Amino acid sequence: MKSIFILALAPLVSAQCGPAQDKPYPSGSTSCPNKSTAGKMDAETGKAPGNTAAACEALPCPASLLGDVALTTVTGTGNDGTAFKVGENIYGPFEAGFGETQANILKTLGCTDANVKDAYLEGGIDTHLSEQMVAAACKVTLPRTVDDTYISLIDECGGHTKEYHFHERLSCLYKEEGKHSTQVGKAMDDKFLYGKWEDYSTDTLPKLDACGGHFGVTPDSNGKSVYHYHVQTSAPFTIGCFGPAKNDAGEETLVTLKQCRAMYGGCTSDTKSLVSTSGTVEYKYWCPCYDADGSTVATKELAVFDNTAAVTCATCDSGTKVPTTSSGNAGGLRSFHSGIVAAAAVLGSWLLMQ
């Protein structure tokens, strides 16, 4: 649909890229690239496994595994001036998989005839890990910048493909300034999604539950504490499930790792050993519920649960809407998804195969 040229979140790097020179260098770069092929890649068909639970009738609920978890509520501008409208798609963390169909695209990332098959991946792996697995298999660095082109599975803002959708960062939709990050999206349960900062002025990130939400005052809540979601630097990146839960007293409570994993069949599937640039990672496919160390296998509870006062909100009334994307087959509601994006065709050197 469109190609985007904006920069990854890097709060401690001087902002100097983009039309207004208000964006930092992208991840892995010390320059300001003004090209990316991320938005030129074709979408592919793919399906996620259905969840084993019955259709969700009350929160917390599972999120779509390959499809919308939210839509953008603000406009944004890419590094080259590309405009992003309200209503852009925000997907969950997973890729649909890379295979022979994507071989030529993988080669634009730096894979060769000799090693491209090593970069074929099954679906159900988050975008960051997928990228680092491709990098390890093909012995290249991702992301990287060559001349003025950004080469990555995900572009600098966190999205990809002609059927453009975000997975990560959403960094072109808000500025890193002030205190609490501004709103960037509306989840499929009608709750709002904000940028990554709880308080940018003090370098404070929010402590979130397994769904990616917490209770607190936002720029839009008129001083009231509400359940809301934040962009995260690691998977699930935005929304792992839809919260909150409720206790026996009817009070809203944060969603635990155990509650999240009970909603997804992938979280009880066999553990796989995956090789990335950081070594061997134990991983469960199609499980968007990550523990405090970013694992889908281990069970270290999230830091927010260390503070009992933060876990329950007796005065919150966040609504009970069950998201339309949540059902026993929450992964198959959108059949097209990008198997891969981005990588770059440096002018005269890289051949883009669509």
pLDDT over threshold 50, residue 348: no
Which pLDDT belongs to residue 4? 31
pLDDT over threshold 80, residue 282: yes
In a domain, 94, yes or no: yes
In a domain, 20, yes or no: no
Mean pLDDT of 63-91: 91
Return the top range by mean pLDDT from 51-65, 144-158, 282-296. Answer: 282-296
Instruction: Give residue-wise pLDDT tens across range 79-112.
Output: 767 789 999 999 999 999 999 999 998 999 999 9
For residue 348, give every residue at least 6 positions away whose Cβ sits within 8 Å of its Cβ, in sequence order, or none: none
In a domain, 6, yes or no: no
**DSSP tag of 130:** H
In a domain, 93, yes or no: yes
In a domain, 344, yes or no: no
In a domain, 29, yes or no: no
pTM of the model: 0.84
pLDDT over threshold 60, residue 5: no
For residue 12, give every residue at least 6 positions away whose Cβ sits within 8 Å of its Cβ, in sequence order, or none: none
- Give the range of the structural domain holding residue 241, as residue numbers without chain letter: 35-337
Radius of gyration of the chain (CA): 19
354: three-class secondary structure by DSSP? coil
Which pLDDT belongs to residue 36? 56
Mean pLDDT of 232-261: 98
- Mean pLDDT for all residues in the chain: 84
Residue 50: band (very low, low, confident or very high) from pLDDT cuts 50, 70, 90 = low
In a domain, 28, yes or no: no
Mean pLDDT of 343-354: 34
**DSSP-assigned states of every residue in 226-285:** EEEEE--SSTTSS-SEE--EE-TTS-EEPPPHHHHHTT-GGGGS--EEEEETTEEEEE-T
For residue 271, give every residue at least 6 positions away whose Cβ sits within 8 Å of its Cβ, in sequence order, or none: 282, 283, 284, 297
User: How many structural domains are present in the chain?
Assistant: 1
pLDDT over threshold 60, residue 9: no
In a domain, 169, yes or no: yes
pLDDT over threshold 90, residue 290: yes
